[in-house]
Amino acid sequence: MIYATLMIFDDLKEGSVTPYTYYLKYHNQRQDLINPFELYWTVISYLIHNVYHSDSKTCELILDRAINGLKRYKERMGTKKYDEVMDLFATANQDFNNLLQRVVRKADNVDFFDKLLRDRIIIILRNERAERESFVDTMKVVSKQISDILTIPKTIEDPLLNQILIDSANYCLESGGKQVRPLMAWVMSVKGYGLEPKAIAPLLRSLAYMHTASLIYDDLPSQDNADTRRGKPTLHVEYNIAIAELTGLFLTQRAIKELASLDRFESNIVLQLIQYVTRRTEDICKGQAMDLDSKGKLLTLEQLNTMCFYKTGIAFEASIVMPAILAREKEPQIEALKKFAHHAGIAFQIKDDLLDTEGDPALLGKLTGKDSRNNNSTFVTVLGLEGARKEMWEHYCQAMEELSFIPHNTSFLKQLLNYMVKRDH
């Protein structure tokens, strides 16, 4: 709060509204306004005496930081500007004002650690902003590149052999999804392990095909019975149920075919990758079966976490573990990636549950309230809205903690996690 006082003229120049700029503008017109600088010292007094029970070391630390902030401003801006600010926000207690300025005049120079901490925070904020901008740019560029390689070409002249399935598959693949999973794999492969983008193209297609197949099955009347997906009619609505089922199977097999075409890697590594994928696909099916079996039942939080990880978390795990397998990553690092994916996947699913309850259908590209109509047990039905939000942030924090065990640049995964929990669609 002390820094907000010191930056008041910068805020005024930029048109920012803060308690200080608002008070400065309206204090002569409104007698009911509280002086924010006086409130600041009231809070300090409460902390010292009521929270920390007048502990001498705590008192010294709090007051040193507050006084040093004022002293820094006085040295940087000059006595005239400093006195101008202090006159504007002087408290009603003149004895306190005089005492405060005497302490500022006599205060020691700013502690090196305090200045270092301030400078470090500024650097962290700048780096965070740069990482966020880089993430947004990467999402746009790489998502476009991935979308461009997903379309399945028609190679057989006889349309009776392949036209309908390829058309229906491309209908889903070209629906404008964000391609989060292949995007994660691209970043881990190219930025994390230095793999060639062309070499891992089959991996990206495989992830996209597998995920798209899972959405096709998920939307079927026998499962979630969804009419729209990404703002378009779902596949079984656009074509029919039989074509949707066949297209899901077609894309699943196409995904395995893509993995088998990773010809720039040793065959034993590719075989290991395919074995991993088939095991994880089995697990995803188990998760969907758990979901179907849970309809109308109130699950425990533990059951919900398990089902959610099998349905959602495993796909995130595959996106970052498969590049690690290709790069021959060591097992401890792969385990850290799995733990990150576990918590990130659950956080992602909780956000989905929240959006299904309170999201904007126009942004989501589908109707909300699907879980309620299908009588599904979700984090919102089990924990309530606020409880679900709290659980989401718990998994967010645990996922962030796991990033510290990954010996690579994890800035993209951190930003991706932020995107997962803050998205509006």
Continuous segment of H or E residues that includes residue 96? helix 94-106
Tell me the chain's radius of gyration from C-alpha atoms: 28
Q: Does position 7 have pLDDT exceeding 70, yes or no?
A: no
Share of the chain above pLDDT 90, in %: 30
Q: What pLDDT is attached to residue 293? A: 84
- Look at the domain 142-422 and name its fold: Farnesyl Diphosphate Synthase (1.10.600)
- Average pLDDT of the segment spanning 286-299: 83
Q: What pLDDT is attached to residue 272? A: 94
- Asked if 156 and 162 touch (Cβ cutoff 8 Å), the reply is yes
Q: What pLDDT is attached to residue 252? A: 94
Q: What pLDDT is attached to residue 162? A: 61
Mean pLDDT of the chain: 84
Q: Does position 202 have pLDDT exceeding 90, yes or no?
A: yes
3-state secondary structure of 233: strand
- Residue keyed to tokens 């598959």: 169
Q: Which residues contact 125 (CB under 8 A, 6 or more apart)?
A: none
Helices (H) and strands (E) in the chain, counts: 21, 2
pTM of the full predicted structure? 0.67
Q: What pLDDT is attached to residue 374? A: 60
- Average pLDDT of the segment spanning 284-313: 85
pLDDT class of 117 with cuts at 50, 70, 90: low
Name the residue ranges covered by the structural domains of the chain: 2-110, 142-422
For residues 353 and 350, give the distance between their C-alpha atoms in angstroms, rounded to a whole number. 5
3-state secondary structure of 119: helix
Q: Which residues contact 321 (CB under 8 A, 6 or more apart)?
A: 276, 334, 337, 338, 341
Q: Does position 312 have pLDDT exceeding 60, yes or no?
A: yes
* Per-residue pLDDT tens over the stretch 38-88: 888 888 888 888 888 888 878 887 887 788 878 877 887 788 888 888 888
Backbone angles phi, psi at 17, to 5 degrees: -105, 115
* DSSP-assigned letter for residue 141: H
* Per-residue pLDDT tens over the stretch 9-23: 667 777 778 888 888
- Average pLDDT of the segment spanning 272-299: 87
* Per-residue pLDDT tens over the stretch 85-104: 888 888 888 888 888 888 88
Q: What pLDDT is attached to residue 364? A: 58
